[in-house]
Amino acid sequence: MEKYIACILLLSLFLHTSCQTCDEDSSQCEGDSKKSGCGCSASRDSSEHSNDEQPGDKSVKDIFDISDLSRTNEMLFIERATFTMGTNEPVFPVDGEGPARKVTVDSFYLDKHEVSNAEFQRFVEDTNYVTEVAAAPWWIPVNGADWRHPNGPDTSIKDIMDHPVVHVSWNDAVKYCEWAGKRLPTEAEFERTCKGNLKSRLFPWGNKEEPKGKHWMNIWHGKFPSENTASDGYYTTAPVTEFPEQNILGVKNIIGNVWEWTQDWWETKFTPTPKKNPKGPRFGTDRVKKGGSFMCHKNYCYRYRCDARSQNTPDSSAVNLGFRCASDKLPPYLEDVTEEILLKEENIIKEEL
């Protein structure tokens, strides 16, 4: 019996350690160690368990007052454009950052902000939706974390209702966007918005990471992973409204803060042939995510660039992965709050900041 107990303890320690390593930067799960089995990309058969077994999100004790918070669900009009998707100077060639290719994207609407905890709470209150991780807490390797408890069962979103919702799977994101009368953006739509009017620049605003010494995004500053100076003001997530609009289109945090799901299946081989409204491959195992997160550091996960990309299985969730929605037509309930930004010559950014 003692041997049996010791074995169980050792096994638990191993699992905890391996998953902690993964959790320190879930981009590991997206990159080299993605297939390491620490859970971030494992498939989950939720059909084996009904949601009723784990009420999770249905608990009313975690419904917070958001009446004082401004809505952050407005959308930006993104005009039809032909732009250069990808790059011929990839930082991570294995990620499929290249080649550079001409892509045309029709006009569409995109959320100005990442979806916040408050906006997601509205969805859950209205539908009693249970997120995948809340429905299957035995699957996630992280100590009972879900969107209401992003860092474990003893943590809360009470004071971060304006921060991006995390621990939402691709499937959860799709459900939310459908409820909002929207959909997930394609990777091309995301990158077109990220690049604004600029061609072949690293960031939405230009090539300098901190133009004029100002922070324009939430990433990891210091020495990863031992020191996070939070010189941008945030150790973890920041409010979705924080930091300047990142380019002329008016988008916020499309780079940094949390990774964002896109509609596309993941692939890494592309042709330079011009394409119109590409939607990625028809089949796959992983979905594309874009934009990098507060856990990204230049020496470790230099993926907070418009060309950068990564992936997770659609049932994955992570503490640094959220989303925003797109739409072909503006949902009628947003007609009064959406910014119609028509690109005119005089509005085009003339120089790098």
Helix (H) or strand (E) holding 321: strand 321-322
Output the smallest distance, CB 295 to Ca ion, in A: 9
Nearer to Ca ion, 108 or 234 (CB): 234
Output the smallest distance, CB 102 to Ca ion, in A: 25
Would you put residue 243 in left (φ > 0), alpha (ψ -120 to 50) or beta? left
Burial 78-114 (b: 16+ CB within 10 A, else e): beebebbbbbeebebeebbbbbbbebbbeebbbbbbb
Q: Segment contacting Ca ion (CB under 5 A): 13-21, 43-51, 175-183, 211-219?
A: 211-219
Q: Is 199 exposed, middle or buried (0-12, 13-18, 19+ CB in 10 A)?
A: exposed
Burial 259-282 (b: 16+ CB within 10 A, else e): bbbbbbbbeeebeeeebeebebee
Output the smallest distance, CB 148 to Ca ion, in A: 20
Distance CA 180, CA 193 (A): 20
The number of C-alpha atoms within 13 Å of 205 and in the hemisphere containing its C-beta is 23
Instruction: Show the site string, 163-202: x = touches Ca ion by CB under 5 A, - = not.
Output: ----------------------------------------
Residue with tokens 């732009």: 83
Q: Segment contacting Ca ion (CB under 5 A): 80-88, 116-124, 292-300, 308-316?
A: 292-300
Helix (H) or strand (E) holding 249: none
Output the smallest distance, CB 159 to Ca ion, in A: 17
Is residue 111 near Ca ion by the rule CB under 5 A?
no
Is residue 72 near Ca ion by the rule CB under 5 A?
no
Output the smallest distance, CB 23 to Ca ion, in A: 17
Q: Segment contacting Ca ion (CB under 5 A): 103-111, 193-201, 284-292, 312-320?
A: 284-292
Instruction: Show the site string, 218-247: x = touches Ca ion by CB under 5 A, - = not.
Output: x-------------x-x-------------
Is residue 317 near Ca ion by the rule CB under 5 A?
no
The token duo for 331 is 């949902």
The token duo for 219 is 């990433």
Output the smallest distance, CB 111 to Ca ion, in A: 11
Q: Segment contacting Ca ion (CB under 5 A): 6-14, 165-173, 185-193, 286-294?
A: 286-294
Is residue 316 near Ca ion by the rule CB under 5 A?
no
Q: Which residues pair with 149 in a beta bridge?
A: 146
Of 96, 141, 239, 291, the one binding Ca ion (CB under 5 A) is 291
Residue type, 342: L
Distance CA 83, CA 249 (A): 14
Binding-site ranges for Ca ion (CB under 5 A): 218, 232, 234, 253, 257, 291, 294
